[in-house]
Chain A
């Protein structure tokens, strides 16, 4: 049970893991705020958002595990993969940063997940379509909440504006991975499993630009490098994150409660 598992190379499995791992890893980073938020209400909000993302990840990992060459369950996929087999975009694994960084990332992620879930509702896989139909309702609340904070901090005091602008500056180089195309992406689009991520960009641009304008924040310049978390090439932070996330299953193999 403690032996590492490999999800295999099937394109549909990889596509679903990219989305599922994005939700899983972002959920983990957001949950790190619980007990550390600036106000109690934000502990509740971030806790609830992390919980929604975790639920979405569980459903997608379960489905991905059913579609692989050898069946795997959600726990095996969440806890027993090696770093190179996690397929989340690198942005999701970055340390939580300050509160501005977390809200900026939550906004970027929600503006990306909203059109993604919307399109996944029409997936050729009925289970994926059902997962998306539920998730799309939840992510609207996440987007609303993050947008309010980005405006409040961006159009706030000199200090909050500086922090929010800095957060965007730090996050922007990781944005284009969310819209990068490759063979797995193309296969999903061709089979009807899910949209090519590049097709989500116009919706993301429109939603982000509206919030940034309201927040009086400058949109950072696009950068050329494309990170490759979706192909398993992660930042130095991923190993640390996994050591926390997996430690219980590695230390007590098969433990449940």
Chain B
């Protein structure tokens, strides 16, 4: 079988700025299994620069997709969790993690489903970056979970990421990707996307 050329939707990969090793300070972003200064914090630092392919405003770490980072005998094991069951960016994300961490040795990528990813894991910094990018960040999931089917559309009080007005309305429950829906602001008249709580 012939290897197909890289599909155009992966073009963004080649545009990623290679991230050099930073002087790893102990205050650097540290992951949950970091044992101290060194390779792991350097690797977390690198991963904190890898952007999500579909929302290139936030990093994989800010989105909560990187669940763990473990040193192995000859490199690193990265534990990722998928956002949506059918997210087509999953393979691209895995590849971008491999590329970013290549200089740390052999990179093993493990997909872990449980516990299921939730938008509650998006960091505060990530939410602010979403807002600045023009995407209204998700509210807490607890409010949306376990609610029986609502026939009549809920009154939305979503704030416009541009002008802050809550006079907004939903245009489409599903947006350009599975994780977003489409809205418009009735005050500033601008359309915007909303990262759905899940």
Q: Is B103's CB within 8 Å of the partner chain A?
A: no
CA distance A133 to B144 in the complex (A): 15
Contact between B86 and A134 (Cβ–Cβ < 8 Å)? no
Q: Is A228's CB within 8 Å of the partner chain B?
A: no
Contact between A44 and B153 (Cβ–Cβ < 8 Å)? no
Partner of B174 from A48, A54, A58, A257 at Cβ < 8 Å: A48
A206, closest chain B residue (CB)? B148
Q: Is A53's CB within 8 Å of the partner chain B?
A: yes
Contact between B151 and A143 (Cβ–Cβ < 8 Å)? no
Q: Is A127's CB within 8 Å of the partner chain B?
A: yes
Which residues from B are CB-within-8-Å of A56? 85-86
Q: Given the interface contacts A51-B86, A131-B85, A134-B113, does A210 sit within 8 Å of B1 by beta carbon? A: no
Interface residues of A in 9-37 (CB under 8 A from B): none
CA distance A210 to B144 in the complex (A): 19
Q: Is B115's CB within 8 Å of the partner chain A?
A: yes
> Separation in Å of the B114 CB from the closest CB of chain A?
4
Q: Is A211's CB within 8 Å of the partner chain B?
A: yes
Interface residues of A in 51-67 (CB under 8 A from B): 51-56, 58-59
Which residues from B are CB-within-8-Å of A207? 148-149
Q: Is B84's CB within 8 Å of the partner chain A?
A: yes
Which residues from B are CB-within-8-Å of A51? 84, 86-88, 178
CA distance A144 to B114 in the complex (A): 25
Which residues from A are CB-within-8-Å of B117? 134
Which residues from B are CB-within-8-Å of A252? 1
A52, closest chain B residue (CB)? B86
Contact between A55 and B149 (Cβ–Cβ < 8 Å)? no
Contact between B178 and A52 (Cβ–Cβ < 8 Å)? yes
Contact between A210 and B151 (Cβ–Cβ < 8 Å)? yes
B82, closest chain A residue (CB)? A134
Which residues from B are CB-within-8-Å of A211? 149, 151
Which residues from B are CB-within-8-Å of A144? 149-150, 173
> Separation in Å of the A170 CB from the closest CB of chain B?
22
CA distance A210 to B114 in the complex (A): 33
CA distance A147 to B117 in the complex (A): 26
> Separation in Å of the A257 CB from the closest CB of chain B?
4
Q: Given the interface contacts A59-B85, A255-B1, A256-B1, does A41 sit within 8 Å of B172 by beta carbon? A: yes
Main secondary structure of the interface of B (DSSP, over half): loop
Q: Which of B87, B172, B176 has the most CB of A within 10 A?
A: B172
Interface residues of B in 94-132 (CB under 8 A from A): 113-118
Q: Is B16's CB within 8 Å of the partner chain A?
A: no
Q: Is A214's CB within 8 Å of the partner chain B?
A: yes
Contact between A44 and B175 (Cβ–Cβ < 8 Å)? yes
B81, closest chain A residue (CB)? A134
Which residues from A are CB-within-8-Å of B113? 59, 127, 130-131, 133-134
Which residues from B are CB-within-8-Å of A129? 114
Q: Mark A130-150, 1 if CB is under 8 A from B, else 0.
A: 110111011011011101100
Q: Mark B166-198, 1 if CB is under 8 A from A, else 0.
A: 000001111111100010000000000000101
CA distance A145 to B116 in the complex (A): 22
Contact between A48 and B149 (Cβ–Cβ < 8 Å)? no
A-B contact pairs, 20 of them (CB 8 A): A48-B175, A51-B88, A52-B86, A55-B86, A58-B85, A131-B113, A133-B113, A134-B84, A134-B85, A134-B113, A135-B85, A137-B198, A138-B85, A141-B198, A144-B149, A147-B150, A147-B151, A210-B151, A211-B149, A215-B151
Residues of A within 8 A of B (CB): 41, 44-45, 47-49, 51-56, 58-59, 111, 126-127, 129-131, 133-135, 137-138, 140-141, 143-145, 147-148, 151, 207, 210-211, 214-215, 252, 254-257
17 more contacts with CB within 8 A, not counting A52-B86, A256-B1, are: A44-B174, A44-B175, A44-B176, A49-B174, A51-B87, A52-B178, A54-B85, A54-B86, A133-B115, A134-B82, A134-B117, A137-B118, A141-B198, A144-B149, A148-B173, A210-B151, A257-B7
